[in-house]
Structure 1
Amino acid sequence: MNTKLIDRVLKYSAKIQQNSYIKGISNGLAALMPLIIAGAMFTIIDAMGIPVYQSFLVNIGIKPFLRYPNLVTNGLLSVYASFSISYVLAKEHKIDGFSTEIISIMAFVLLFPLDTNADGVDMIPLHYLGAEGMFTAIIVAILVERIIFFLNKHQFIIKMPESVPDLIGKSFAALVPSFVVIFVFLAIKIAFGATQMETFPNFVTLIIQTPIKSLGESWIALVFIMLLVNLLWFFGIHGHLVALSVMAPVYMQMDLENLNAFQAKEVLPNIIGNTFIYVYASGATVLFGLVFWMLRAHAKRYKTLGKLALVPMLLGIGEPLAFGVPYVMNFVLFIPVVFCSSINSLLAYFATVLNILPRLNGINTPLPVGGNGFLAGGWRVMVFQILLCALNVLIWMPFVKKLDHMELEEEE
């Protein structure tokens, strides 16, 4: 393989991986997983399609209340994303994270239109604060952090004497940034209010979110992305952080749309999403074949490593294998490492299109393979995961056996 090409890939991939904004978005969204999972679990409790169970919920009077956990978690996810991403970016650039995240939420909410009900009460429609506002939240978090960083760097802040308590000092330091951010985002609101798009979130949806979502719905793009993710992993670069960072907000939005439709007992709108990737194209459904043959290896090293990596692999943790085998920069394992996820994605996508598999409900849980599939789509998804594991046993077989033979010769 062309070493110059490899060096170039590594160079640019490393730059992307180390980019503070990529890390800010990725880590900020990752911090939301507890809320997403908690809301999803209550959705299961609310929407479980067993008539006797549903009658029980109605009879004891808690059925109307079970929609609220998902509403205040996934239904307000963009608010939490603005908070989380701005905090991570602020810490990355060594400015006060607390004031940055508070100002970021203020700017985010400022951009949305207000509706007025029959009683004359101003309201913000909740759909703006959920999945629909995700890209707006990301852009706002970055812009607010940049404004505050610029003002701090050039000392356009109010500095209090050292004798003043730290909390009071930080409050006054955030005063000028608060005024500037309000001025900037109010100007943006007024400017877009004079256009046909009416609001900045509408502009983001039209120009950014809709085109990227169209790309996210494409199986061709999915296969290409999974190839890129695992090619980067092969070279020791965090493929999910680099290749999925742009698509992660879109896939998260698609999962939340499915989750809301599932709770409302409507037809699920999307096939692809983060849940699709983690159920069919990562973790054990890809690496089961590697561990299976390592447990049957003749070389002591691989047999021992297979035992150590078995439980983490079943839970979707592949780092012990990536750097323990290693399959990073191991050209004997190049084909299964790079192509297994894409093969799985392709098979699962067309099985879903043909209605062999149901669309996944967007519930992505850190359960072992089989368990996460069952919660996301039922017994058919769980069985298909097992079939993918069996298929990957066949794909990995010749390559792991070759590696085992080479290692055994060295041991002897």
Structure 2
Amino acid sequence: MEEEMRANMLVIRELDKNEDTQKVEELERRCEAGSCGEMSLFTDLLGDPICRIRNSPSFLMLVAEIGPGKEIVGIIRGCIKVVSCGQHLRRPSNEDSDLKIEPICTKLAYILGLRVSPSHRRKGIALKLVNRMEEWFRRNGAEYSYMATELDNKPSLNLFTKKCNYTKFRTPSILVQPVFAHRVKTHRRQITIIELTPPEAETLYRRQLSATEFFPQDIDRIVQNKHNAGTFLAVPTEYLWTGLDRFLSDPPESWAVMSAWNCKEVFKLEIKGASLARRLAAKATRMVDKALPWLRIPSVPDVFTPFGLLFLYGLGGQGQQADKMAKVLCGHAHNIAKELGCGVVVTEVASQEPLRSAIPHWKRLSCAEDVWCMKRLVEDYSDGSLGDWSKSPPGLSIFVDPREF
């Protein structure tokens, strides 16, 4: 009996990158890491289990191993950062008697990449991994923890909402557009696209979007990261651009901003389960689009083999023409994705996002309702007037961190 207990003893420990990488890759292949529609996570391109979280301010990866052979049967990733709760706090300004509006921030933890081997499910391993990760969150001062999953992923939702006391918090949409063989027009005669430097992008985001829910306080690290493919500002052609200072003090009536993140160097996706007829039809659209690019046929890229994606984030803008400008920025991002060899352009927006209608996407590839669940990790409040963010109503927009997509 003791030998059997030792053989089945479960150990949860921190990942040893040198010793565990191959075993983790094998576990990832055994697990179907579902995403929206027919897409699923295919593989970590770099063969690095922590590649998707290494750019976060603070991160941890745990593995669950069992038996004398130390088989890895479960993994979980977690990271911690400081974000805005989407509220404002008015404080006296040092410069004058006016009140200065500041966003309310909190230390937020995020759980991603929870996997359990199919042969070891329903044995409480996932729950043990989550509990251990939450212990690390608390030790490092996180006030809240959240995770994201698909609406139809009942096992994951049941684990977090029924066993771990998370509540459904937000239901954003993941919008996916294929990258065609032709370039997309961006109407440069009416709208000018300006590529901002990382310092300019940081300043603009802090001035305009810092009170948006989930806005990361280390936005400077994001826009300066090697995976960031640029931040782009769209303004009317007649607007004279002389620099960011003038834009912030005297902006045009309408404008839009958006950043792009190259996920191709981090992970790849593939669409599974497509019939031969559908594959051939998709190939035919690509052949025609490549031969006759001036027709601008909406062709289907080769998404039935591993492909990369370009993720759009930091969407924002003002004015009656902001949606038109956001659409132009999406077209510009499509052309960047084409140059990078990505198969799709993806963004995630709040269900009430004002610029949502401007984002081109294919409904079949997109996910109308992703589910974000949240849990408060601490019992006491540092300031009783701030309330509990996990019980707050949704705002119009959210800031989706590309490091966690």
Q: For this structure pair, what is the TM-score category when the shorter chain's length is used for normalisation?
A: under 0.3
Structure number with higher helix proportion: 1
Structure number with higher strand proportion: 2
**TM-score normalized by structure 2?**
0.23
Higher relative contact order by CA 8 Å / sep ≥ 6: 1 or 2? 2
Structure number with greater Rg is 1
**TM-score normalized by structure 1?**
0.23
